[in-house]
Chains A and B, each alone.
Chain A
Amino acid sequence: MKAFVKQSGIVAPMDRANIDTDMIIPKQFLKSIKRSGFGPNLFDELRYLDEGQPDADNSGRPLNPDFVLNQPRYQGASVLLTRENFGCGSSREHAPWALEDFGFQVIIASSYADIFYNNSFKNGLLPIVLDEAIIDGLFAEVIATEGYELTIDLENQNIVKPNGDLIPFEVDAFRKHCLMNGLDDIGLTLQDADDITAYEVKRKESSPWLF
Chain B
Amino acid sequence: MTGKTLYDKLWDSHLVKQRDDGTALIYIDRQLLHEVTSPQAFEGLRIAGRKPWKLSANLATPDHNVPTTKTERTVGIAGIQDPVSKIQVQTLDDNCNEFGITQFDMMDKRQGIVHVVGPEQGATLPGMTVVCGDSHTATHGAFAALAHGIGTSEVEHVLATQCLIQRKMKNLLIKVEGTLGEGITGKDVVLHVIGVIGTAGGNGCAMEFGGSAIRSMSMEGRMTMCNMAIEAGARVGMVAFDQITADYVKGRDFAPKGDQWDMAVAQWADLVSDDDAVFDKVVEIKAEDIKPQVTWGTSPEMVTTVDGFVPRLEDAKDDVERSGFERAYQYMGLEPGQAITDINLDRVFIGSCTNSRIEDLRAAAAVAKGNKVADSLMQALVVPGSGLVKEQAEKEGLDKIFIEAGFEWREPGCSMCLAMNADKLGNGEHCASTSNRNFEGRQGYGGRTHLVSPAMAAAAAIAGHFVDVRQFELVK
Contact = CB atoms under 8 A, between A and B. Distances in A.
B439 A84 contact: no
B156 A195 contact: no
B260 A91 contact: no
Contacts of A210: 29, 125, 128
A189 B158 CA distance: 10
Nearest to A55: B84
A118 B472 CA distance: 45
B269 interface: no
A192 B17 contact: yes
Given A84-B320, A174-B22, A196-B16, A92 B37 contact: yes
Contacts, number: 188
Contacts of B133: 91, 93
A170 interface: no
Interface string A172-190: 1110010000001110011
Nearest to B27: A199
A200 B323 CA distance: 52
Nearest to A52: B445
B25 A33 contact: no
A203 B27 contact: yes
Contact of A91 (B127, B150, B327): B150
Contact of B160 (A22, A85, A186): A186
A7 B152 CA distance: 26
B440 A22 contact: yes
A25 B138 CA distance: 22
Interface stretch (A13-21, A62-70, A147-155, A161-169): A13-21
A160 interface: no
B166 to A, nearest CB: 9
The interface centre, meaning the residue of A34, A112, A177, A196 with most chain B CB atoms within 10 A of its CB, is A196
Nearest to A86: B200
Interface string B149-181: 111111011001111010101000000000000
A115 B137 CA distance: 12
29 contacts: A16-B323, A17-B324, A18-B200, A18-B324, A23-B441, A26-B441, A30-B64, A30-B420, A31-B36, A31-B88, A31-B420, A34-B40, A35-B40, A45-B445, A85-B233, A89-B437, A90-B134, A91-B134, A91-B135, A91-B151, A92-B36, A114-B203, A114-B235, A119-B154, A189-B161, A189-B163, A192-B25, A208-B263, A209-B264
Interface of A: 15-18, 20, 22-23, 26-28, 30-35, 45, 51, 54-55, 83-85, 88-93, 96, 111-115, 118-119, 122-123, 172-174, 177, 184-186, 189-190, 192-193, 195-196, 199-200, 203, 206-211
